[in-house]
Amino acid sequence: MRRRAEQEAEKARKFALEKFVKELLPVVDSLEKALETMEEGASEVHREGVSMTLKMQLDVLNKFGVESIEPHGEPFDPQVHEAMTMVPNPDLDPNTVMDVMQKGYLLNGRLVRPAMVVVSQKPIEPLAAQGVKKSP
């Protein structure tokens, strides 16, 4: 009976932590976007402040078992990726993650948010190249 109560308490703690992490992820996204979009002439002090704040936020999340999913160049995995669009690309194998629109995150190995990605697909060949003739 005691063991079951401990397991239930641990499950409740993990669920509460998951909700908390989901609420913090948009803050991480905003800090990353702020760094990406800072103009060249932006004050180095401001850039460093945002960078340090982001690092502190990520360190705290990592301390509690949160890891980011950054699948650029990896095969598409529907278990942890959400395909936002597919783009023909002759340079990549089909179903390869070409771009990451939003990072995904795991909490102690469990998916909290899938990575939103752009996936490559085989280029569409013109009908003539496929040996198909147009009907008159």
pTM confidence score: 0.78
DSSP, collapsed to helix, strand or coil, labels residue 41 as: coil
Predicted pLDDT of residue 129:
54
Confidence of residue 43 (pLDDT cuts 50, 70, 90): confident
**Is the pLDDT at 34 greater than 70, yes or no?**
yes
What confidence score (pLDDT) does residue 4 get? 84
Say what the pLDDT of residue 130 is.
54
The closest of 65, 33, 25, 69 to 51, measured between CA atoms, is: 33
pLDDT tens, residue by residue, 76-122? 999 999 999 999 999 999 999 999 999 999 998 999 999 999 999 99
Cβ contacts of 87 within 8 Å, gap of 6 or more: 98, 118, 119, 120, 121
Domains and CATH numbers, the chain: 1-64 (3.90.20.20), 66-125 (2.30.22.10)
Residue 46 scores a pLDDT above 80 = yes
How many C-beta neighbours within 10 Å does residue 60 have? 11
Place of tokens 């509690």: 64
Burial label, 78 (beta-carbon count in 10 A; 0-12, 13-18, 19+) = exposed
User: What contacts 88, CB < 8 A, 6 or more positions away?
Assistant: 120, 121, 122, 123, 124
